[in-house]
Structure 1
Amino acid sequence: MPKIKIFADSTCDLPSDWIHKYDIDIIPLYVVFGDESLRDGIDITPTQLYQRVSETGNLPKTAAPSPTDFLTAFTPYIDQGDQILYICLSSELSSTYQNACIAVEELPEGSIAIFDSLNLSSGIGLLIMKAVHAAQAGRTLDEIVNLLHAVRPTIESEFVIDTLEYLHKGGRCSGMQNFIGSLLKIRPIIKVSNGLMIPANRVRGKREKAVEQLLLNVLEKKEQIDTDLIFVAHSLAEKDALVLQTSLQQQTGATVALATAGCVISSHCGPHTIGIMYSKNIL
């Protein structure tokens, strides 16, 4: 049986040591400042990104990998007889999925499966780890894809946005929403639904209150949680992430891992964003 090589893109926010341990190849998206295109996680880090935004007052654009990027990454593995499974950022948020599909048209039929996560950040990471363990167990490519189709609807991703400024600059909320939100100190809790980001709660007051609500949203469903793995993902919010990690471990008995958001996720959500991602048990 051919070896199954698993690919992801830089928005999956898997811990770097996991990427190396499980031999996952990462295709970077791009962060674009003016005429300068920087590969997420290779040419620029989130700290550097925030520094440039602070200095210039301008938010970068983000761009998907090109079909050529995918062909360059995939071809060596296809040439050596491997099969490829690529789990990507939601097609509702990026053209990454579409560009990967264009690349696949140039490669042998049946050698690559492109799976649309309909998610972002560690919501993608959960699917990747399901695929990794299934591949280690000897499952075929078709079997793994079928498993991912079953798991995908069970993924829950929610995160607290500390400031609306980045959503505003990125065109995801209006100037008036940004002004009112800042004036009233409203911190939205965003969830992923059918591949899109939608409001889950709007919490007025201190950041701690919003983070507490995020935790409560998860614990309300704790009997349904797949305790194999929960992710707490953050962008420059490690202190809060550690607190949530401890609380979730104590109250669910789950394995809880920390993940740091990359530049593309950070450029849309902003600093001090924190989220919890988990899957529910499949009935």
Structure 2
Amino acid sequence: MRVGLIVDSACDLPYEFSRKHDLFILPVTAVIDGQTYIDEHDPVRTQEFYQSGLLQKGHHAETQAFSPQQIHDLFMEKIVTQFDVAICETVTRSRSLIYQNATEAMNSVMSHYQDVREAAGREGKFSMRVIDSKQIFAGQGLLAAHTLRLIDQRLSKNALRNEVEAFTDKIYTCVIPRDLHYIRERARKRGDKSVSALVAFLGKALNITPVIFGLGAEGQPAAKTRSFDMAVEKVMNYAAGRVEAGLLTPYVSLSCGLTWTEIEDLPGLNRLRDACEKNGVELLLSQMGITSSIYVGPGSLCLALAAEPHEFSDFQ
């Protein structure tokens, strides 16, 4: 039984990790200043966007989910013909139409896959499941990495689905937005109330940078700092302390809307690397993709890990 894992372009993971594990990327459409781009997590294209300045303030940018028909066609061509079981993990359904559109596409695929599968020479039935990750960005990456571990354990398809769905409620995410007003406007369009008008005002008046923390995408401000670097250091200290206390899966996922030079200069990054190495944890460090950078704003940071219930302040 060949099992395939599908993630969308809001999922941040290192390119080499995704390629090594044969992840299928469900693209997202990015519209910037009226021009349409397809975000397939190509590292060269992502780097071009950072260098071009198209992700900076002053450019009108938004993302659009692929339509059910577009997703259906991709599934029929790339998934039905290669896998016996497929799991599609989408960005949280409360922030995007991807889950809804992928579910509609899956239902259509399950009714029409037989002829395409036979023509490709694959025998047996095909099954598929679309799962709401309840995550964004690095959180999606963490869930994908854990799912790959479960796939390697050769669980039954029902056991695999149940394990993945249960795990979505155990992922904690930290987000540091570089520009509160940018993320507030993006969040307001999607119904996300985690960044209030008051916090945005304080950020402008006092140069305050918050750390937004919580389970999955449902975060709240957990710390307020006077600079981005101070916020980053708090998040790195939190992550290193949580790694030392123990995790539920041996990964920490960290994505940054920065150049690689800026990423390497992040305060506390080496401490987190050392904690991961000493505790047998893999640090999944990536440059934030086009989709996630548009969503949360260029220059931002997102970190995710899975652990027993705790508070951000427990590791400060």
Q: Which of 198, 214, 226 is the aligned partner of 1:205?
A: 226
Contact 2:91/2:135 (<8 A) preserved: yes
Report deviation, 1:277. 0.9
State the TM-score, normalized to the length of structure 2.
0.78
In structure 1, what is the Cα distance between the partners aligned to 2:166 and 2:63?
30
CA contact (8 A) 1:8 1:26 kept: yes
Native 8 Å contact 2:13 2:253 kept in 1: no
Structure 1 residues 90 and 28: CA distance shift in structure 2, 3 A: same
Q: 1:3 to 1:247 in 2, by over 3 A?
A: same
2:74 matches 1:73: yes
Shift of 1:210: 1.2
Question: Residue deviations 1:137-193, cap 9 Å, x none?
Answer: 222221211111221111111021222242144254677754541220110112354
Equivalent position amino acid for 1:99 in 2: N
**Equivalent residue for 1:5?**
4
* Secondary structure in structure 2 of the residue aligned to 1:105: helix
Alignment of 1:30-179 (within 5 A): 30-40=29-39, 41-42=41-42, 44-45=45-46, 48=49, 51-54=53-56, 57-76=58-77, 77-79=79-81, 82-108=84-110, 111-170=127-186, 172=188, 178-179=200-201
In structure 2, the CA distance between the partners of 1:202 and 1:267, relative to structure 1 (3 Å rule), is same
CA contact (8 A) 1:29 1:64 kept: yes
Identify which of 197, 222, 229 aligns with 2:251. Answer: 229
Q: In structure 2, what residue type is equivalent to 1:246?
A: N
Unaligned stretches of 5+ residues in structure 1: none
2:136 aligns to what SS in structure 1? coil
Cα distance, 1:271 vs. partner?
Answer: 2.6
Question: 39-48 vs 115-124, which deviates more?
Answer: 39-48
Choose 13-22 or 129-138, whichever is displaced more. 129-138
Q: Structure 2 counterpart of 1:63, which letter?
A: Q
- How far did 1:80 drift? 5.4
Mapped contact 1:121–1:265 kept (Cα < 8 A): yes
- Return the offset for 1:32: 0.9
What's 2:208 paired with? 186
Which of 197, 200, 215 is the matching residue for 2:236?
215
Alignment partner of 1:256 is 2:262: no
Cα deviation code 1:176-231 (max 9, x no counterpart): 754541220110112354643x3232423122221122234435544242361112
Classify 1:13/1:171 alpha carbon distance in 2 versus 1 (closer, same or farther; 3 Å): closer
The 3 A distance-change label for structure 1 pair 70 and 182 is: same
The 1:103–1:176 alpha-carbon spacing in structure 2 relative to 1, beyond 3 Å, is same
Q: Tell me the secondary structure at the aligned position of residue 141 of structure 2.
A: helix
* Farther-moved stretch of structure 1 (42-51 vs 96-105): 42-51
Say if 1:119 and 1:192, in contact at 8 Å, map to a contact too.
no
Alpha-carbon offset, residue 133 of structure 1: 2.0
Give yes or no for contact 1:85–1:141 (8 Å, CA) kept in 2. no
- Aligned-pair identity in percent equals 21
Which letter maps to 2:143?
L
- How far apart, in 2, do the equivalents of 1:160 and 1:112 lie? 35
In structure 1, the partner of 2:18 is 19
Asked if structure 1 preserves the Cα contact closer than 8 Å seen for 2:11 and 2:91, the reply is yes
**Given residue 236 of structure 2, which amino acid in structure 1 is its aligned partner?**
L
Give the total of aligned pairs.
278
CA contact (8 A) 2:254 2:303 kept: yes
The answer to whether the 8 Å contact 1:235/1:274 transfers is yes
One-letter amino acid of the counterpart of residue 257, structure 2: S
Structure-2 change in CA distance of 1:153 and 1:232 (3 Å): same
